[in-house]
């Protein structure tokens, strides 16, 4: 494709067939929603764990005592808490790997939808962990959240590259 000179505002160019590639409001809105859908969840999941640390650690202490008849020392609690907080990143690495396979077969649109589905499943698990007094369910929720944000972060870059009118930026 031969690209001809753009106008002074660089909002469109014409190819040799006279077709224009426009940076429309719809493309901009889609890009903003894609970024908010992927990057927002990652930032939220990273930042939400610290303000809730005291509440969640007391939840762990109570449930370990009640369910396993054992009390955690401060060093044990620190180890368990670090593992729970870090499970998000383990899930994110796994989610990024899964997404590479999904992108090869189904493309970024399907990948973003799969990511959203995983996040929709992970969110209620967190609440159910309190309802059922299950720290294990909370760990599973963090792991699934990590998978979802890893998938979303991987897919959003590919999706944005695919929907962007490349000729605009030549």
- Please give the pLDDT value at position 166: 66
Q: Model pTM greater than 0.85?
A: no
CA nearest to 149, candidates 41, 36, 33, 35: 41
In a domain, 23, yes or no: no
Q: Please, what's the largest Cα pairwise distance for the chain?
A: 76
- Per-residue pLDDT in tens (0 to 9) along the chain, 170 residues: 343 444 434 344 444 554 455 667 877 887 777 777 666 777 777 777 778 888 989 998 999 889 888 888 899 888 999 999 899 999 999 999 999 999 999 998 899 899 989 999 998 998 899 899 999 999 999 999 999 999 988 888 888 778 776 665 55
In a domain, 6, yes or no: no
In a domain, 5, yes or no: no
Number of separate domains in the chain? 1
The domain of 154 spans 37-163
In a domain, 52, yes or no: yes
- CATH number of the CATH domain containing 151: 1.20.1250.20
What's the helix, strand, coil split of the chain in %, to 5?
Answer: 75, 5, 20
- Please give the pLDDT value at position 48: 77
In a domain, 8, yes or no: no
In a domain, 30, yes or no: no
Return the ∠ at Cα 121 (arms to 116 and 127), rounded to 5°. 125
User: Quick one: angle between helices 74-106 and 108-131, nearest 10?
Assistant: 150
CA separation for the pair 145, 129 (Å, rounded): 14
In a domain, 12, yes or no: no
CA separation for the pair 158, 47 (Å, rounded): 25
- Please give the pLDDT value at position 96: 94
Contact 95, 115 (CB under 8 A): yes
- Please give the pLDDT value at position 5: 41
In a domain, 99, yes or no: yes
- Please give the pLDDT value at position 159: 81
């Amino acid at each position: 494709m031969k690209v001809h000179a753009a106008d002074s505002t660089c909002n469109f160019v014409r190819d040799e067939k006279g077709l224009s590639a426009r940076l429309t409001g719809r493309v901009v809105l889609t890009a903003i929603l894609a970024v908010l859908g992927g990057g927002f969840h990652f930032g939220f999941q990273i930042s939400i764990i610290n303000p809730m640390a005291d509440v969640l650690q007391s939840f762990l202490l109570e449930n370990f005592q009640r369910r396993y008849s054992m009390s955690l020392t401060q060093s044990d609690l620190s180890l368990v808490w670090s593992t729970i907080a870090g499970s998000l990143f383990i899930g994110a690495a796994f989610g990024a790997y899964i997404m590479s396979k999904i992108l090869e077969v189904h493309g970024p649109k399907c990948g973003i939808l799969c990511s959203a589905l995983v996040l929709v499943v992970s969110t209620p698990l967190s609440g159910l962990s309190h309802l059922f007094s299950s720290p294990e369910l909370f760990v599973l929720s963090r792991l699934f959240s990590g998978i979802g944000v890893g998938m979303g972060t991987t897919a959003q870059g590919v999706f944005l590259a695919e929907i962007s009118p490349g000729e605009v930026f030549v």
